[in-house]
Amino acid sequence: MIILLYTVVPRTEELRPVNEEMTRQIHALAEATPGFLGAEYYDRPDGGTFGVLRFEDEDALATWRDHPDHGEAHRRGVEEVYSSYQVEICERVRHAEFTWTP
C-alpha cells in the first residue's frame, strides 16, 4: 500500500473556499482511479488542509497523479491558491488495529 500525506495552505482566508473545492475535485478524481483505497482530510488551524490518501500500489498513485485534471489543479494551486504545500509518499510497512467492543 502506498500512502500519500499532503498539506496545503491557501494564501489568504478568501482563498480557503477555492482550496476546499479543489480538494473535492481531486478527491472525486481519486475515487475514479482504479487502485484508490480511501482518503481522510483534516482542517488545519492555519486554514489549510492535511490529507491522507491510500492507493493499492505506485501504479495506481501514478495514474491519479498523472491525470490531466490533477495536473491542472496542481498548476492552479501553485500559481493562484497555495502559500505552501508539502507532499510525502510512504509505503506501509505494517498495520495494527484494535476495536473495543462493550
pLDDT (tens digit, 9 = 90+) per residue, 17-51?
A: 999 999 999 999 999 999 999 999 999 998 899 99
Residue 20, classified by CB atoms within 10 Å of its CB into exposed (0-12), middle (13-18) or buried (19+), is middle
Structural element, H or E, at residue 28: helix 16-31
pLDDT-based confidence at residue 101 (cuts at 50, 70, 90): very high
Residue 68 has pLDDT above 90, yes or no: yes
pTM: 0.88
Per the structure block, which three cell numbers stand in for 36? 484508490
